[in-house]
């Protein structure tokens, strides 16, 4: 059987169904996963995609044929998988999901015990090798399948981060992007009025790619905020593990600012704690966490890298600009509901509008927003980064934590290749809007001039 090697990514397995990933491929991957991990009991879930049922069945067969017991937790948000594996102390877990990719994609996110991710550095390459070698095994005794509904206990875990009785009434515009997020929120019986968008699960994603990180996918949420005049707005991606927020005026709150805000919140309650962020944008996080008595740490982007570093540092909180937020008390894993609950809690106790809580970030830490440049070939990334480093060799500070960051007293830029797509990602921050525009234009012109030689 021909296997498309491109589906094995840095953090998970992902491809177009059925051309790149299908039931036969998933069966073989599940078999290799069982050989790699040697588990007894594995949690198996899926997101809302239309191909999910077929691929879930293939994964189940691959596991039970190998003698592994399967715990079926149904259609879930990805962060529910992490809860189920870690909370009930199972040996591992897989969810059939392609996260925020378009509807024609599907894939597999895999973890071991305690919801530790299996990534390109910690097992995916071993699993890939076994799959390509045609590994297959039939145990003398098949594993058993048990259905377990974990939703209520998952929601209780999320609610443990706040005192629900202290939440005041708010009106919230909420966009689920046809994923499961609002199905979960509605079961929490919060004292809020929800103005819902795309709340019914629909794996065909009829309005396009379920990714609020893309500006075009925010327009519907912004329009409803302008119409309904709520206290604030929120959105989640297709598998509901990333969280996005808008103030009462429809202004999008970047994940960078929310990381700084929540980092300060956690550290102010536990001084001396560590907070981890990615290198794309850092100044607000460095300032807020340090001023609250915490220790900010810059780490390579990507959920597997973040979770590993969080465990090593015993970090209380971590956030990525992409909308992933991680919590020590949630098994060092990311969760899309907890940030929403924390914002409700903080707004209730502070008595301020969301815009008032975040105005200072827009004023003091202007940013370009992530600019994604399409590449024909990811091999040109190194060449561009080398030229970028030479051009800014007079920088006060240079970092290679992830891609390349150059820092001057009044501006900073990070340029990095995507781990999942043929993209060059550019982020710029500066001390004022005028300098921000000037330096963003400068960086993009340089990359474009160099890129014409290669792309």
Residue 102: cis peptide before it, omega within 30 degrees of 0: no
Residue 77 contacts residue 184 (beta carbons within 8 Å): yes
Distances (CA, A) of 102 to 46, 50, 65, 209, 217: 16, 12, 31, 4, 12
Report the alpha-carbon angle 155-45-301, nearest 5. 80
The Cα–Cα gap between 203 and 211 comes to 13
Parallel/antiparallel/unpaired status of strands 317-319 and 274-277: parallel
User: How does DSSP assign 314-365, residue by residue?
Assistant: T-SEEE-TTS-EEEGGGTTEE-SSHHHHHHHHHHHHH---HHHHHHHHHHHS
Question: Nearest to residue 404, comparing CAs of 374, 283, 276, 393?
Answer: 393
Helix (H, G, I), strand (E, B) or coil at 74: strand
pLDDT (0 to 100) of residue 455 = 39
Residue 319 contacts residue 277 (beta carbons within 8 Å): yes
Residue 374 contacts residue 422 (beta carbons within 8 Å): yes
Going residue by residue through the chain, which has 455 residues, state the pLDDT in tens, using 9 for 90 and above: 789 999 999 889 999 999 999 999 999 999 999 999 999 999 999 999 999 999 999 999 999 999 999 999 999 999 999 999 999 999 999 999 999 999 999 999 999 999 999 999 899 999 999 999 999 999 999 999 999 999 999 999 999 999 999 999 999 999 999 999 999 999 999 999 999 999 999 999 999 999 999 999 999 999 999 999 999 999 999 999 999 999 999 999 999 999 999 999 999 999 999 999 999 999 999 999 999 999 999 999 989 999 999 999 999 999 999 999 999 999 999 999 999 999 999 999 999 999 999 999 999 999 999 999 988 777 789 999 999 999 999 999 999 999 999 999 999 999 999 876 788 999 999 999 999 999 999 999 999 887 654 43
- Known catalytic residues are 99
Domains parsed from the chain with CATH numbers? 5-149 (3.40.120.10), 150-365 (3.40.120.10), 371-451 (3.30.310.50)
User: How does DSSP assign 305-318, residue by residue?
Assistant: HHHHHHHHHT-SEE
**Roughly how many angstroms between the first and final C-alpha of the chain, as a whole number?**
34
pLDDT (0 to 100) of residue 451 = 62
Question: Nearest to residue 354, comparing CAs of 435, 251, 256?
Answer: 251
pLDDT (0 to 100) of residue 160 = 98
How many other C-beta atoms lie within 10 A of the C-beta of residue 110? 27
The Cα–Cα gap between 37 and 442 comes to 49
């Amino acid at each position: 059987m021909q296997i498309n090697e491109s589906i094995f990514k840095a953090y998970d397995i992902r491809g177009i169904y059925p051309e790149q990933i299908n039931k036969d491929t998933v069966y073989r991957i599940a078999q290799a996963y069982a050989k790699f991990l040697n588990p007894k009991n594995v949690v198996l879930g899926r997101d809302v995609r239309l191909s999910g049922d077929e691929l879930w069945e293939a994964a189940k067969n691959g596991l039970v044929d190998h003698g592994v017991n399967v715990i079926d937790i149904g259609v879930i948000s990805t962060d529910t998988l992490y809860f189920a594996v870690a909370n009930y102390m199972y040996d591992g877990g897989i969810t059939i999901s392609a996260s925020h990719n378009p509807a024609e994609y599907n894939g597999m996110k895999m973890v071991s015990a305690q919801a530790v991710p299996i990534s390109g550095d910690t097992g995916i390459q071993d699993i890939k090798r076994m799959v390509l070698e045609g590994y297959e095994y039939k145990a003398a005794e098949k594993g058993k399948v048990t259905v377990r509904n974990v939703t209520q206990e998952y929601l209780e875990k999320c609610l443990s981060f706040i005192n629900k009785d202290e939440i005041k009434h708010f009106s919230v515009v909420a966009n689920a992007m046809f994923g499961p997020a609002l199905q979960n929120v509605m079961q929490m019986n919060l004292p809020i009025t929800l103005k819902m968008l795309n709340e019914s699960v629909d794996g065909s994603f009829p309005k396009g790619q379920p990714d609020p990180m893309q500006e075009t996918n925010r327009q519907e949420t912004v329009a409803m905020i302008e119409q309904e005049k709520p206290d604030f707005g929120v959105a989640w991606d297709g598998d509901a593990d990333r969280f996005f927020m808008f103030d009462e005026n429809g202004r999008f709150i970047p994940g960078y600012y929310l990381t700084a805000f929540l980092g300060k919140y956690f550290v102010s309650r536990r001084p001396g704690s560590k907070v981890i962020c990615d290198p794309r944008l850092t100044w607000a996080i460095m300032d807020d966490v340090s001023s609250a008595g915490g220790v900010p740490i810059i780490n390579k982007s990507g959920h597997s890298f973040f979770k590993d570093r969080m465990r090593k540092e015993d970090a209380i909180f971590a956030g990525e600009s992409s909308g992933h937020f991680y919590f020590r008390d949630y098994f060092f894993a990311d969760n899309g509901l907890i940030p929403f609950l924390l914002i409700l809690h903080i707004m209730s106790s502070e008595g301020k509008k969301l815009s008032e809580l975040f105005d200072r970030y827009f004023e003091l830490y202007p940013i370009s927003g992530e600019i994604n440049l399409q590449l024909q070939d990811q091999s040109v990334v190194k060449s561009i980064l080398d030229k970028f480093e030479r051009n800014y060799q007079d920088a006060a500070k240079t970092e290679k934590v992830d891609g390349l960051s150059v820092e001057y007293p009044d501006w900073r830029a990070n340029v990095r290749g995507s781990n999942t797509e043929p993209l060059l990602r550019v982020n710029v921050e500066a001390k004022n809007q005028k300098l921000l525009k000037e330096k963003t234009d400068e960086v993009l012109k340089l990359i474009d001039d160099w890129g014409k030689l290669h792309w």
